[in-house]
Copies of this chain bind each other. A is one copy, B any other.
Amino acid sequence: MSSTIKVAIVGASGETGQSIVDGLLGSDTKFHVRALVRPESISKPINADLQGRGVEIIPVSLTGPEEKLVEALSGIDIVISAIFFGSLDQEIHLANAAKAAGVKRFVQSAFMVVIPPRGVVDFREKKEENLNHIQKIRLPYTYIDAGWWYQITLPRLPSGRLDYLVPSTQPQNPIGLDGNIPSALADIKDVGRYVARIITDPRTLNKRVHVYNEVYTRNQVYDLLENLSGEVLERDYISEADAKARVEEARTVLEQNPADFTAFAKLSTSQLFYSWGIRGDNTPEYADYLGYLSGKDLYPDFEYATLRDYVVDALEGKAKGVYQK
C-alpha cells in the first residue's frame, strides 16, 4: 500500500457509515476516502458535506453493470460496506467488483451485536451468506461486529429529559429475564475509530473481530441512569416465552406481507432483542467462542467513551441521538 491508503465506502450517509468516515478522516493514518453513492441520492446535502470534508463522491449503482463498479473501485486498497441491512443482497455485487478490482481487503456490512450465524436473527444469516460468498471468491476480508450502541441503550426518563435522544421509531425495550444478562456496548462515535485501526492491522486480515467499549447488564444500565439522574425508573421485565412470542408474532405479520419493510424491521428488532436481551449472545465470551479476535486484546491502548461519560452528556443535553435527521 502507498503511504495514503485508499478506502471506498458504501453507505457513508448511514449512522455506521458516518462514524466510519469520521474515524478515517480523524485517524493518524492517512486515508483517502471515496464514497460510492447511488446516482439517485447524489444531491442529498450529506454528500456536499462529505465532499467539503475531502471525501471523493462517486455516483455508481451496485446493481448496475459490474464494469462501472470495478471502475469506481480502481486503485482502491480497502472497501468498506456499511450498506443498509435491508439491502444486503446488493453487497454480493460489491464483493465481486472488489475481487475484480484487486482490492486488498473487504469489510462487509456486519457492525452488529454478536449473534449466532444462523437460527436466531434472520438478517444475520444473510450476513453469513455474504461472508461465505466472499470466502468462495477468496476475497481478503475482515468481519467486524461492534457492540450495541450507547445511543440506543438508555431507557426514557420519567421527566422526559432523554426523549431528545430516542428515535421516534424505536420502541422502548423491556428488560430480559431478571435483568442480569450482560451485553457489550459501544459509543457509535467510537465504532469508526475502531474500524480505522482494524483495517490497517495485518492481524485482522481474514478474521472476525469484535470491538466494544464496556459490558453492562440492563439492571446496571438502569442503576447507573437512576444514580446519575436522581430519577426512579420503572422496570418492565419480560420472560423468554413472551420474548419468543413477540418474535413469532412479528414473523406471522411479515409472512402475510413479505415485501413490507416495516414488518421485516419489526421482526429484526424482536429477534435482536431476543438474542442480546434473552439469550445473552452479545458478550465478549460468546464472541471468543465464535472465533472473533477481541478489540480489547488487539488495542489495549484504545481510548473510548464510557457509558457513564455518555449518560452524563445525555443528561446535560449534550449527547447526539441516532436516526434523527
- Residue numbers of A with Cβ under 8 A of B are 116-120, 128-129, 132-133, 135-136, 138, 140, 206-207, 286, 288-291
A206-B291 contact in complex given A138-B286, A286-B138, C-beta closer than 8 Å: yes
A291-B289 contact in complex given A116-B136, A119-B133, C-beta closer than 8 Å: no
A120-B136 contact in complex given A207-B291, A289-B206, C-beta closer than 8 Å: yes
Point out the residues of chain B lying under 8 angstroms from A136, CB to CB. 116, 118-120
Q: List 20 A-B contacts (CB under 8 A).
A: A116-B135, A116-B136, A117-B132, A117-B135, A118-B129, A118-B132, A118-B133, A119-B132, A119-B133, A119-B136, A120-B136, A128-B132, A135-B289, A135-B290, A138-B286, A138-B289, A206-B289, A206-B290, A206-B291, A207-B291
Min CB distance A282 to B, Å, is: 13
Nearest to A117 among chain B residues (CB) is B132
Cα separation A291 to B132 with both chains bound (whole Å): 12
Cα separation A140 to B129 with both chains bound (whole Å): 23
Point out the residues of chain B lying under 8 angstroms from A290, CB to CB. 135, 206
Cα separation A320 to B118 with both chains bound (whole Å): 41
Min CB distance A105 to B, Å, is: 12
Point out the residues of chain B lying under 8 angstroms from A207, CB to CB. 291
Cα separation A129 to B117 with both chains bound (whole Å): 9
Cα separation A207 to B207 with both chains bound (whole Å): 13
Nearest to A208 among chain B residues (CB) is B291
Min CB distance A143 to B, Å, is: 10
Point out the residues of chain B lying under 8 angstroms from A286, CB to CB. 138
Most chain B CB inside 10 Å of its own CB: which residue of A132, A140, A206, A286:
A132
Nearest to A120 among chain B residues (CB) is B136
Cα separation A216 to B138 with both chains bound (whole Å): 21
Cα separation A206 to B290 with both chains bound (whole Å): 7
Nearest to A206 among chain B residues (CB) is B289
Given contacts A128-B132, A206-B288, 8 further A-B contacts (CB under 8 A): A116-B135, A117-B135, A120-B136, A135-B289, A138-B286, A140-B289, A206-B290, A291-B291
Min CB distance A273 to B, Å, is: 17
Point out the residues of chain B lying under 8 angstroms from A288, CB to CB. 206
Point out the residues of chain B lying under 8 angstroms from A289, CB to CB. 135, 138, 140, 206
Min CB distance A151 to B, Å, is: 28
Point out the residues of chain B lying under 8 angstroms from A118, CB to CB. 129, 132-133, 136
Nearest to A125 among chain B residues (CB) is B132
Nearest to A280 among chain B residues (CB) is B138
Nearest to A139 among chain B residues (CB) is B289
Cα separation A289 to B289 with both chains bound (whole Å): 19
Cα separation A129 to B129 with both chains bound (whole Å): 11
Point out the residues of chain B lying under 8 angstroms from A132, CB to CB. 116-119, 128
Point out the residues of chain B lying under 8 angstroms from A129, CB to CB. 118
Point out the residues of chain B lying under 8 angstroms from A206, CB to CB. 288-291
